[in-house]
Amino acid sequence: MIAAVTWFSDPAHWSGQNGVPYRLFQHVGISLVSVLIAMAIALPLGLYIGHTRRGQAFAVNLANVGRAIPSLAAIAIVVPFTQALDPGPGFNLYPTVIAMIVLAIPPILVNTYAGVSGVDADLVESARAMGMTERQVLTRVEVPVAIPIIVGGIRSASVQVIATATLGAIYGLGALGGFIVEGVAQNDDGQLFAGVLLVALLALLAEGGLALVQRRLAAPIAARAT
């Protein structure tokens, strides 16, 4: 731990392409992009399956496959397919990002589908009986009621993605994992611990922040007597 403090206090580690700010930015950036892309795919699919109850088996199977694949394996699997896409040797952005998207889709998809299909059937029938169109049933009733569960899915996906982004360093993606990989390689405990701390902190921050959002969104639904 002291080694990590010493490492943090060296100003050389706070600048340049291998410095903390840049790698933190890199880590957050690719995590964010991955989660956003996963959301763009999983949210509409989950809403569709949840609302229409079509393709439930597909959603469940996909989720199980997603959970069964270890993060590292996911990256390894996509490496040969994506190397061609990478702009140059040593720039291994795509395998990690694609692996992160693949890993982030199941939790978002499953929670969205489960949240929407779990909305009380009487509520949905009431909405329909009052003359809401299917789109209105979804946007005005199902999504608002299910939103805490949907955000819960995004939350677990985010934490998983932040962890996976660390592994990307093995394939040459810098980010915060770089400190860990380099720390191990160079027998530099300070750098290793610093990297671990940064990743843990970021994961906790994302977890805590989204948990807060989740709580705020659930508040009116759980509201008790005023």
Residues that bind another protein (CB under 8 A): 120, 122-123, 125-133, 136, 140-141, 144-145, 220-226
Distance of CA 75 to the CA centre of its chain: 15
Which position has the token pair 């380099």?
182
Cβ closest to another protein, residue 132 vs residue 200: 132
Nearest to 173 by CA among 33, 34, 23, 60: 23
CB of 139 vs another protein, minimal distance in Å: 12
CB of 9 vs another protein, minimal distance in Å: 49
Q: Give the integer Cα–Cα distance in Å for 131 and 129.
A: 5
Q: Give the integer Cα–Cα distance in Å for 127 and 122.
A: 9
Cβ closest to another protein, residue 87 vs residue 131: 131
Cβ closest to another protein, residue 10 vs residue 134: 134
CB of 146 vs another protein, minimal distance in Å: 10
The angle subtended at Cα 148 by Cα 26 and Cα 202, nearest 5°, is: 25
Per-residue tokens: 29: 């950036």
Nearest to 177 by CA among 208, 202, 152: 202
CB of 221 vs another protein, minimal distance in Å: 5
CB of 143 vs another protein, minimal distance in Å: 10
CB of 141 vs another protein, minimal distance in Å: 6
Cβ closest to another protein, residue 102 vs residue 137: 137
In three-state form (DSSP H/G/I as H, E/B as E, the rest C), the secondary structure along 162-209 is HHHHHHHHHHCCCCCHHHHHHHHHCCCHHHHHHHHHHHHHHHHHHHHH
Which position has the token pair 């499953």?
110
Nearest to 97 by CA among 177, 176, 30: 30
